[in-house]
């Protein structure tokens, strides 16, 4: 006797309802009382039936990963093949199979129909099961649970930038555009939240006196973060960076114009990634990389080149949690007088006392205030 499949009730998106509810009940009642008595009982809004957004999926599994609660639909593993998403471009995902073959894949309608906070159900770095179609195409049937997810808030939804990485290389520039410590702190908070090892890489050090960078380098180094000073144009620090990325899954991220693509070209000269100069008028970078792309390294491992951004709003981090993700503030949080202390205006406050006594860098504390106030709003 065949084993009965599991059944899972899953939420579907609002526009996936089978039919709309009738809205002419009053008109029918006024014209024909008998018709009201004959109405189907299914017109009431309940947890089952045609009017609910929930659907029953046979054989599916409810699981949790770094993105939250997920639904894993049942698939036929004798037909489907396992692969990794290299790039997502519109409705098409480039998936590399275990044998090295790359297929252009669409996403199964069921996956796109399940209700989720994510802007896109598939992201670069995902491990997926695909059903091959033709010689070079396929259908993504299921996305496996993720770890090491780098994401941000975009239009009140989760924008997953890259998944399944164990290192995030936060690239900043010493000049053109200027270094933004607050943006670095936002990336560091996200890395702490996702339990990904962060590395700060300051590019274009050939444009400034390296002694001017020592104060900020010293602050982050004392907190235990690795800081690299490199120059993609001069080749400074490239060999150290290459050794750091060897056999690692790394996301390369940072604001536009800091030289992420130039660094990757210096690491792998045969890539020939497109680069642009910084705008002379605004001193801001021009968007060159338009989508996250997984790039294998000749020395082992891979990197994910991500599009440059100018704003990075935290995802799934409430204001009360921000201080816990600051390594320098964390030791003092539990010593505040009030258990719900925000470390902004309360007196006495152990965090504010540590700042006044010089145990916490003033600029880092101001960055905390900015993130706390901005994300609270």
Please provide the average confidence, as pLDDT, over all residues in the chain: 84
Whole-prediction pTM value?
Answer: 0.82
Please tell me whether residues 163 and 21 are part of one structural domain: no
Confidence of residue 270 (pLDDT cuts 50, 70, 90): confident
Least confident of 23-27, 148-152, 154-158, 204-208: 23-27
Distance CA 188, CA 249 (A): 17
Please tell me whether residues 270 and 214 are part of one structural domain: yes
Please tell me whether residues 135 and 245 are part of one structural domain: no
DSSP code at position 262: H
Residue 67: per-residue pLDDT: 74
Please tell me whether residues 77 and 22 are part of one structural domain: no
Distance CA 345, CA 368 (A): 13
Q: What is the average per-residue pLDDT within 98-122?
A: 90
Please tell me whether residues 206 and 301 are part of one structural domain: yes
pLDDT at 326 over 90: yes
Please tell me whether residues 132 and 234 are part of one structural domain: no
In this structure, the dihedral spanned by the alpha carbons of residues 273, 279, 284 and 287, taken in order and rounded to 10 degrees, is -30
Give residue 25's domain range.
Answer: 7-58
Please tell me whether residues 297 and 227 are part of one structural domain: yes
> How many domains is the chain partitioned into structurally?
4
Q: What is the CATH number of the domain that holds 90?
A: 2.40.50.140
Please tell me whether residues 168 and 226 are part of one structural domain: yes
Helices (H), the chain: 25-31, 33-37, 109-113, 181-194, 214-222, 238-245, 260-267, 319-322, 330-333, 350-356, 362-376
Residue 312: per-residue pLDDT: 83
Residue 162: per-residue pLDDT: 94
Domain-embedded: residue 311: no
Contact residues for 278 (Cβ-Cβ < 8 A; gap 6+): 176, 177, 257, 284, 285, 286
* Locus of tokens 């009140």: 156
Domain-embedded: residue 269: yes
Cα separations (Å) of 281 from 94, 179, 208, 284, 353? 37, 17, 20, 8, 42
Residue 207: per-residue pLDDT: 92
Domain-embedded: residue 117: yes
pLDDT at 27 over 90: no
Please tell me whether residues 198 and 340 are part of one structural domain: no
Distance CA 210, CA 212 (A): 5
Domain-embedded: residue 310: no
Residue 377: per-residue pLDDT: 41
Q: What is the CATH number of the domain that holds 338?
A: 1.10.40.50
pLDDT at 343 over 70: yes
Residue 25: per-residue pLDDT: 56
pLDDT at 28 over 60: no
Q: What is the average per-residue pLDDT within 238-250?
A: 94
Domain-embedded: residue 2: no
Please tell me whether residues 154 and 275 are part of one structural domain: yes
Please tell me whether residues 297 and 200 are part of one structural domain: yes
pLDDT digit string, tens, across residues 53-108: 777 777 678 888 877 778 888 889 899 999 999 999 888 999 999 988 999 999 99
Q: What is the CATH number of the domain that holds 216?
A: 3.40.50.300
Residue 128: per-residue pLDDT: 96
Q: What is the average per-residue pLDDT within 14-29?
A: 56
Of the three residues 82, 113, 143, the one that is the final residue of a domain is 143
pLDDT at 18 over 70: no
pLDDT at 190 over 90: yes
Please tell me whether residues 272 and 173 are part of one structural domain: yes
Domain-embedded: residue 217: yes
């Amino acid at each position: 006797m065949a084993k009965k499949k599991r059944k899972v009730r899953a939420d579907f998106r609002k526009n996936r309802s089978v039919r709309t509810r009738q809205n002419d009940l009053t008109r029918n009642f006024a014209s024909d009382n008998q018709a009201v008595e004959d109405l189907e009982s299914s017109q009431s809004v309940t947890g089952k039936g045609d009017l609910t957004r929930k659907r029953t999926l046979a054989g599916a599994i409810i699981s949790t990963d770094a993105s939250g609660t997920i639904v894993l639909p049942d698939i036929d593993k004798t037909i489907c093949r396992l692969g990794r998403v290299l790039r997502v471009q519109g409705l098409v995902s480039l998936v590399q199979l275990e044998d090295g073959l790359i297929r252009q894949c669409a996403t199964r309608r069921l996956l796109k129909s399940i209700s989720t906070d994510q802007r896109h159900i598939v992201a670069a770095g995902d491990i997926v099961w695909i059903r091959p179609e033709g010689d070079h195409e396929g259908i993504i049937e299921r996305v496996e649970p993720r770890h090491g997810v780098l994401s941000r808030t975009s239009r009140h939804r989760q924008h997953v930038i890259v998944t399944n990485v164990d290192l995030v290389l936060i690239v900043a520039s010493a000049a053109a555009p200027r270094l933004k410590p607050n943006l670095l702190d936002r990336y560091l908070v996200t890395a702490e939240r996702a339990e990904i090892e962060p590395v700060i890489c300051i590019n274009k050090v050939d444009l400034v006196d390296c002694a001017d960078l020592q104060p900020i380098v010293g602050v982050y180094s004392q907190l235990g973060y690795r800081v690299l000073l490199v120059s993609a144009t001069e080749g400074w620090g490239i060999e150290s960076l290459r050794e750091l990325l060897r056999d690692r899954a790394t996301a390369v991220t940072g604001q536009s114009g800091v030289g992420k693509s130039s660094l990757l070209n210096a690491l792998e000269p045969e890539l020939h990634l497109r680069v642009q100069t910084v705008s002379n008028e605004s001193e801001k970078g021009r968007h060159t990389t338009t989508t996250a792309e997984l790039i294998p390294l000749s020395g082992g491992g891979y990197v994910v080149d991500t599009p440059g951004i100018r704003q990075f709003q935290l995802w799934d981090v409430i204001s009360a949690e921000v201080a816990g993700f600051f390594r320098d503030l964390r030791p003092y949080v539990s010593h505040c007088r009030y258990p719900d202390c925000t470390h902004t205006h309360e007196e006495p406050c152990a965090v504010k006392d540590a700042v006044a006594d010089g145990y916490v860098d003033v600029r880092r504390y101001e960055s905390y205030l900015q993130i706390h106030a901005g994300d609270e709003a």
